[in-house]
Structure 1
Amino acid sequence: MSQIAKPPPAVKPAPPAPVPKTAPVPVTDLGALAARHGLTVSGARPSLPVYVRQLWSRRHFVTAFATARLTAQYSQAKLGQIWQIMTPLLNATVYYFIFGVLLRTKDGVPDFIPFLVTGVFIWTFTSSSVTAGTRAISGNLGLVRALHFPRAALPVALALQQLQQLLFSMGALAVILVCFGQYPGPGWLLVVPVLALQALFNTGLSMIVARLAARTPDIAQLTPFVLRTWMYVSGVMWSVDKVVGGGRLPHAVAVALECNPAAVYIDLMRFALIDSFTDSRLPPHIWAVAVGWALLAGVGGFLFFWKAEEEYGRG
């Protein structure tokens, strides 16, 4: 019998090579991974140059927002926009009776009514800008949370609204000055640089209080008391040079009164508009002080507000 050949033994396949275990991606690499694919943090604060460009690109929104709020401010009142003029005039009337007549602060102050009305109008510009700034974020939370835009547009727009209101009221101020013998002259051209410096100062101040009030809403309740105290030491109803020049105050207090930014801008406006308010009644280096306050508040306030850009509208 022929011998049957046995089939060769089956060759067992080699076991698969073990797959090397990869270490899990550490959490710390996720940021780099997101950056590699162009992802950014939602609501993150942009760099300062980018932020400035974003704000400039929204300049039309800022102007339209300020104008719309100014138009709607007295829309429910029967006298409408006339209250933009009546409010500072009524304040000036009250201050004239209390301080000028009862307390006799008008003694020794020539052209007291133009002096007082100018002070009230210019002070109102600063106080209204600060008050509006306290509501810049908290009063527009719906807008802040719904849309992506540089939040500085809100306090800037509110400060612009107050400037528009002041410009609207300056016509009434000019009529009052003419009625009391203060006629237009070359000095009235100084109104433009004074208002530009004060507007920059007020805008920076508005951004400062906007950030503070966004974090601590109680700031809005405290602001009226601070503003009232500030008004009383700013020479709105009395002449700073008469008090400082008497030598009755310590030197540090006298310098503080003279360098008070509100008093500086009020006195510069009086110097521009009132003939009897000569440069002898101005503190030394007042223009340098006015420029310094405008730059310090304007630039410093903008940087202070920008630092907290990613915090607004949260919580």
Structure 2
Amino acid sequence: MPTAAEPTGVTDPAVLAERYGLSKSSIRPPLGSYLRELWSRRQFVLSYATARTYAMYAGARLGSIWQVLTPLLNAAVYYLAFGVLLGTKNGIDNYVAFLLSGIFVFTFTQRCMTEGSRSLALNLSLIRTLHFPRATLPLAYVLNELNQMLVSLAILFVVVGFTDGPQWRWFLIAPAMVLQMMFNIGITLVFARIGTFVSDITQLLPFVTRTWLYASGIFFSLPYKLEQLHAPSWVVQVLAFNPISAYIDIVRRSLLEEHKRNQLPHAWTIAIVWSFVMLAAGFWYFWRAEDRYGRG
């Protein structure tokens, strides 16, 4: 019923919304406001990531022990296939730690991409029911994978500690992980948007990441292998621009003394540039479609 102060005969919703200061709930806010609102939801992101981690292993008999067993079993399979059968361990000291560091770093980014590409599609009911920054969902998936990565790093520290002994350079792992985390957030936001509107990307991603896996120097040292093949020096320079190769290299530098003679050129610089560029580009790309997520 109209009040005494409200003119009768006005039925246009747009006119009424403007009169009473209402706005569309799905409108895309300015980027600065969006980031502030996203920060205010940080507790939700953390809680959602924790719940996902628990749910992943809730139905398994061994429960969260699989957080330790899964990376170890993956490493064992790759060690047998590449290190033993294909002989890629030849010429590499402490090949177990070398292999584990490569697998763990790559898997961190790989799973962020693949899980993030489904983060919005799997939560459409939540998106259509509540108003909140949609970036909270892919960010929660990245935090979930970070939890697994920290468990993997603990395993890696134990392995390197037994073989090489603790070293002060281990502290460089912290900035290396921060840089990879920044990169992972950016690339996850990119694939979260793509996966929302192109559902087939989830079928294509395994082939993309598998190709990336073999080109990133995980099972062998890129400089050492290319030196054996007498490849031109510029080939090493080009391959060094692969972001995953850079993150793997700076982690190996932090852990393995013997890796210094086979390290990639300018790996820290490349890792830093990739991190900041991907983080900024990923946020901008995801935010541009904020008002379209959840529509039929």
TM-score, scaled relative to structure 2? 0.91
Paired residue for 1:66?
A: 49
Cα distance in structure 2, aligned partners of 1:32 and 1:298: 40
2:110 is the alignment partner of 1:112: no
Residue type at the aligned position of 2:117: T
2:143 is the alignment partner of 1:155: no
Paired residue for 2:225?
A: 243
Deviates more, 1:300-309 or 1:163-172: 163-172
Paired residue for 2:269?
A: 288
Paired residue for 2:104?
A: 121
Paired residue for 1:178?
A: 161
Report the secondary structure of 1:190's partner residue.
Answer: helix
Unaligned segments of structure 2, at least 5 residues? 1-9
Paired residue for 2:210?
A: 228
Paired residue for 1:262?
A: 244
TM-score, scaled relative to structure 1? 0.86
Residue type at the aligned position of 1:227: T
Gap change, CA 1:32 and 1:253, over 3 Å in 2: farther
Cα distance in structure 1, aligned partners of 2:110 and 2:133: 24
For residue 298 of structure 1, the aligned residue among 279, 282, 293 is 279
Cα distance in structure 1, aligned partners of 2:236 and 2:15: 58
Q: Comparing both structures, which one devotes a greater share of its residues to helix?
A: 2
Paired residue for 1:133?
A: 116
Report the secondary structure of 2:176's partner residue.
Answer: helix
Encode CA deviations 1:200-256: one digit per residue, 9 max, x unaligned. 101111100000000011001111111111000011111112134456446664333
For residue 85 of structure 1, the aligned residue among 68, 88, 102 is 68
Unaligned segments of structure 1, at least 5 residues? 1-24
Paired residue for 1:101?
A: 84
2:259 is the alignment partner of 1:277: yes
Shift of 1:284: 2.5
Paired residue for 2:189?
A: 207
Encode CA deviations 1:83-118: one digit per residue, 9 max, x unaligned. 112111111111111111111111111111110111
Cα distance in structure 1, aligned partners of 2:90 and 2:72: 21
Report the secondary structure of 1:277's partner residue.
Answer: helix
Cα distance in structure 1, aligned partners of 2:276 and 2:242: 15
Report the secondary structure of 1:296's partner residue.
Answer: helix
Cα distance in structure 2, aligned partners of 1:259 and 1:201: 14
2:288 is the alignment partner of 1:313: no
Q: How much is the aligned-residue C-alpha RMSD, in angstroms?
A: 2.0
Gap change, CA 1:32 and 1:296, over 3 Å in 2: farther
Residue type at the aligned position of 2:193: R
Residue type at the aligned position of 1:178: G
Deviates more, 1:204-213 or 1:160-169: 160-169
Report the secondary structure of 1:123's partner residue.
Answer: helix
Cα distance in structure 2, aligned partners of 1:142 and 1:66: 18
Cα distance in structure 1, aligned partners of 2:251 and 2:54: 27
Cα distance in structure 2, aligned partners of 1:251 and 1:169: 33
Cα distance in structure 2, aligned partners of 1:242 and 1:36: 71
State the percentage of identical aligned residues.
45
Cα distance in structure 2, aligned partners of 1:152 and 1:74: 25
Residue type at the aligned position of 1:235: G
Gap change, CA 1:302 and 1:190, over 3 Å in 2: same
Paired residue for 1:15?
A: none
Cα distance in structure 2, aligned partners of 1:109 and 1:32: 72
Cα distance in structure 1, aligned partners of 2:235 and 2:53: 38
Report the secondary structure of 1:236's partner residue.
Answer: coil
